[in-house]
Amino acid sequence: MIRHLMLTALTVCLLTHATATEPPPVEVKHLDYKSIARANDWIGLHFSDAITRNSVSRIILTRLTPVGIPGTADNESTDQQTHDIASGLTRTLFSETGAIQKWGQLAEEVETAELVIVTKTGEIFFVNVLRKTGEEKANAFILRGSGFSVRLPVVGVSE
């Protein structure tokens, strides 16, 4: 009798262990090839040609690392300073970036801010602001959309 009880208990343990170690269901993600192709079409264009100023509904500064801002602690900045930084980044993005490139963030770059661009048609783009370690000004932007990512180097005032 004891043998049957032990055998039953062992069987129950093995069965519960077998069901507990089942792998989770696999979720299949479909790629949006139309969006990926759009990024390839943008290579060589300037930002203002890919996303025109008239098509933008709003630009939101969602994250800011205020390291290097004069007169602030490392984690604090005034509303006016934040507004000025966001305006400067937007101006740089639209007028001082070079042609859109394929590659992303370089090893010597750090992310200092993030902008979210919402267009009038409802598209949402995320822009990471990059600067080289030890420098104060942005040297590149990473533009991320639905299924793609491109790089915009800062080259100075365009003609």
Residue 135 has pLDDT above 60, yes or no: yes
Question: Span 1-6, mean pLDDT?
Answer: 70
Render pLDDT for 80-129 as a digit per residue (tens, 0 to 9): 888 888 888 889 989 899 998 987 788 888 899 999 999 999 999 999 99
Instruction: Kindly state the tokens that stand for 27.
Output: 């979720």
Write the pLDDT tens digit of every residue in 6-63.
777 767 666 665 555 566 676 666 655 665 666 678 889 899 998 999 999 999 999 8
Phi, psi of 92 (to 5 degrees): -65, -45
User: Shortest CA distance to 156 belongs to which of 87, 91, 70?
Assistant: 91
Domain residue extents for the chain: 33-153
Structure tokens at 69: 């801002």
* Residue 66: predicted pLDDT: 62
Burial class (CB in 10 A: 0-12, 13-18, 19+), 118: middle
Alpha helical stretches, state H, 27-140:
33-42, 47-50, 79-95
Q: How many CB atoms lie within 10 A of CB 8?
A: 10
